A and B are shown apart, each in its own frame.
Chain A
Amino acid sequence: MTSSAAATSLSSHGSARPIVEMTAHELLALQERGELTAVAIAEAFLTAAQQLEVHLRSFLWLDAEEVLRQAQAVDLRRRSGQPLGPLAGIPVAIKDVLCTKGIRTTCASRILANFVPPYDAHVIERLKAADAILFGKTNMDEFAMGSSTENSAFQQTRNPWDLQRIPGGSSGGSAAAVAGCQAPVALGTDTGGSIRQPAALCGIVGLKPTYGRVSRYGLIAYASSLDQIGPMAHDVTDCALLLQVIAGHDPRDSTSAPLPVPDYRGRLNEPVRPLRIGVPREFFDKGLDAEVESLVQQALRQYEKLGAKLIEVSLPHAPYALAAYYIVAPAEASSNLARYDGMHYGHRTRHKADLIGTYAKSRGEGFGKEVQRRIMIGTYVLSSGYKDAYYRKALKVRRLIKQDFDQAFEQCDVIMGPTSPTPAFRIGEKINDPLAMYLSDVYTVSCNLAGLPGLSIPCGFTREGLPVGLQLLGPPFSEETLLRIARMYEAVTDWHTRRPKLPVPPSPVTS
């Protein structure tokens, strides 16, 4: 960032860098050495967030006083010598799909515009226990349905690398906030690519953990069998740091895995050797942007230089993943979103009507077009007479996709390919063509269908200066290895250190 107003601090290399361009692990180290306070960090990010919000529109809610209060509490405890959690004083932006006690949680939907949860999501409890600073709620596609954050009922978030373009989605607010240096790290959720695709399009690192690695308690469901919460950050180390805090069994989520959580940072800098990288031919098919392909190929060659062996693998059912996804996810969504009916909470129509009429009007007014479209698709594919042809068939495809991965991982340690078939597209470019929009997820959905961990790291920029992401997929619960493999590449590249140049408005704008 170029703002002259931005606070700076001496990094470990001794060069002055703005606080807001630093990573969480750098900020932690500076606090521990007494060179920086949590309040200073909070003030720097609040200033940046407020100044840039006019361009980025990442946040649906941000309360400066509340942020400062949390930061002061951390500093006080540090001064009095009390032990602090692993994310002490680190601002974490929260996708507005995660319930925060006493703070409005909207899913970027009119139907929940005034919903204030009476409880914290599991991950929010974990962040609080780790002394992180809850740094606002970020914009998203309504109910996490979308790939561009254009489906938010409230505002259009923009890509920090090109304000005319979308940040990806559905965790577009979180991605833009981190890439735009409004917050050092963020939480996103990923049902079909909603962490990895915006991470790729905004030039940051995003990790979707294995299904069951992170408790979904308090995550407002889109598609329960696919949803996972994960970290979004400038680099792999920050992802490891954040994952460490949020991962682990939670008895309130029956699908959360009762498995121990490894130390993700412990061996992060140890390369994985030997390393066999599976490259599925199905991920380099038509529809893949030539520049994206070339950057991904260069990244693969970089891994070869690091001693990895590239193995061509096949995921024969990958071409059916998108179709299966757009049946399974809407089917679950049609049921998950049935509760928003205007009866007990959320938007209720002002029009007088009978029971059915009240349901129809409340939901018609409260849900946006894409959400309505997916509810209709989901209702249709579960209806008697169609269930066998669609829903049951999609479940079969899902099993076959899982099998494909199981077989591929017998030959390789990790699968690599592009995260997204294209770099960030222009705002409005695909909004009236849902099928073109759905294709943004073509490489990311199979990971969710198979329940695997997936990670996107920056692997270069197009000639227009748009970031491109490399996707790494691993076997279930291989996050530790996946992060180490990603770190190998990151250690020899500098894409993750780049920050967009953003214009600063003449006077600070408060959000």
Chain B
Amino acid sequence: MTAAGALPYRLVVGLEVHVQLLTRTKLFCGCRNQFGLPPNSATCPVCLGLPGALPVMNQQAFRLALRAALALNCTIARHPHHTPGFTKWDRKNYYYPDLPKNYQISQYDLPFSHDGWLEINVAADPKKEYVPKRIGIIRVHLEEDAGKNLHDESGRGGDSLVDLNRAGTPLLEIVTHPHMNSPEEAMAFLEEIRLLLRETGVSDCEMQEGSLRCDANVNIHIPAADEPVGFVATPIVEIKNLNSIRAVGRALAYEGRRQFEEYQRQPQHYRLGKLLKTTAGWDDARGITVVQRHKEEAADYRYFPEPDLVPVVVPEQWLEEVRTEMGELPQHQRQRLVSQYGLSAYDAQVLTAKGRAMVAYFEEVTARIGDARLVANRMSDLIYPALAERKEEITTFPIRPAAFAEFLQQAPGNSQDRRDVFAIMLRDGVDVAEAKRRAGIKQWDEATLRDAVQQAMAANPKAVADFKKGKETAKMAIVGAVMKANKGAPNDLVRRLVDEALAQA
């Protein structure tokens, strides 16, 4: 990115993303997987880790995880003796009150998927161009989440409480290669993965609710001609407590600067390999990273295969079903919007980012009136702001595609009138003709305007002749003349009538 290019170092970022799956129940028991329930109400002997309780894998969770992995272009793990997918579970042992068994069921040496990628746009100006970059995915694995410790923060030394509603809910861990080289790239990656997982129904990815969590591993490479590899790498810092995509961007920018300053202070000592990896927390209020611990104190998790669960063998048929369920991925959708509808890469990106339902709306309107770019523009002028204001989803938006198509065909040319009519349609639940009447806007009938077009062509023979010689812009003189003589006529309709008349001339 341009921003990174201006810096005297290269930022190197790898992300560890945790995503809660949209399953009905938890990963290894039948308790509800739902945010915001009364503390400890969604618990049972299994997720409480009571003696004698045993886990049983939730197939829906595994299939959602497969969906995510396939969407991230990952290879599904195979076992030499099991031709389709094969994976197993492991125990990660550590003590913490929010982990009732004091081990987490996770995946260690045989994650169910590995080696994928996700494409992001790294153009300097994403409004103008699309420059793809593939961010490599090392592995995606499934594990159970821990509960939540609620500490008394009054400073009066009150008891800490534990809420185990979240304990045992399914969590997907996605580990990337250190392929991101700026805060913007990391943010773009998170935006893209959020869109992908939302669109495929894997997760709602609400960072505020913790259903998408992210740790960033970051260091910097400082060009140095006298080094064998041509640069000096600083020690890796793992940043935790990143609660929004914006926070990720800020934390990475800060940490890059901090590491560079640290390096300048002690260029021989502050180097990868000389210092151990550290963990830091992001303090969003102060805008700084705070070192929490050095990894040399890090626990030995004593991983071993979970004996209470059998390995998962994934039949080929599952993979086929999951691919079908997955639907069109954002990346493919963007490409299709460009190739099928002639949208700009930027418009395609904006529309795709609004979600599949919005794309479906767009496609339905376009099917009725043909002009895809016009539809895309009018949607961003009128529908997106209306949805934001009404805090509404497109699926429940009162102006359905047929009515919006009709509106586009009959809408006033003047943008203020257009807005007024749209607002009345929305407010009063009436069709475009009635809205125009209520707005006091003159109705135009096609026959009258067609006559006006014939008159304008007769009055401008040169423009007609120029157009026939191939000068496209000559058309605008005719349109202008018609509009001048018929103030407030719908621009779109006039253009269409001019086109038709010119074609027959």
Contact = CB atoms under 8 A, between A and B. Distances in A.
Interface of A: 98-99, 105, 107, 112, 115, 117-119, 121, 216-221, 223-225, 251-255, 331-332, 334-335, 338-339, 341, 343-345, 355-356, 359, 379, 382-384, 387, 391
B300 A338 contact: no
Contacts of B97: 343, 355
B441 interface: no
B52 A332 contact: no
Interface stretch (B14-22, B307-315, B317-325, B347-355): B307-315
A225 B307 contact: yes
A338 B304 contact: no
Contacts of A383: 300, 302
B57 A384 contact: no
Interface string B44-68: 0100111111111100000000000
Contact of B45 (A118, A338, A387): A118
B101 A338 contact: yes
Given A253-B54, A384-B300, A384-B302, 11 more contacts: A117-B50, A117-B51, A119-B53, A218-B53, A220-B51, A221-B51, A339-B101, A343-B100, A344-B48, A382-B93, A391-B304
Nearest to A332: B307
B502 interface: no
B239 to A, nearest CB: 25
A331 B304 contact: yes
Nearest to B91: A335
A332 B304 CA distance: 9
B302 A335 contact: yes
Interface string B273-306: 0000000000000000000000000001011100
Interface string B457-498: 000000000000000000000000000000000000000000
Contact of B100 (A219, A252, A339, A391): A339
24 contacts: A99-B51, A99-B52, A105-B52, A115-B51, A117-B51, A118-B50, A217-B54, A218-B53, A219-B52, A220-B52, A221-B52, A252-B54, A252-B56, A254-B55, A254-B56, A331-B304, A332-B307, A335-B91, A339-B49, A343-B162, A344-B100, A356-B95, A382-B304, A383-B302
Interface of B: 45, 48-57, 91, 93, 95, 97, 100-103, 162, 300, 302-304, 307-310
Nearest to B45: A119
Contacts of A115: 51
Nearest to A391: B304
Contacts of A253: 54, 56, 308
Nearest to B301: A384
A388 to B, nearest CB: 12
A387 B301 CA distance: 12
Contacts of A255: 307-310
A328 to B, nearest CB: 9
Nearest to A346: B51
B187 to A, nearest CB: 36
A254 B310 contact: yes
Contacts of A216: 52, 54
A385 B50 CA distance: 31
A265 B51 CA distance: 33
A221 B52 CA distance: 6
Contacts of A99: 51-52
Given A254-B310, A383-B302, A338 B103 contact: yes
A224 B308 contact: yes
A107 B51 CA distance: 10
Nearest to A220: B51
B95 A341 contact: yes
Contacts of A251: 56
Contact of B52 (A117, A223, A334): A117
Nearest to A338: B102
Given A338-B95, A339-B101, A218 B162 contact: no
A335 B162 contact: no
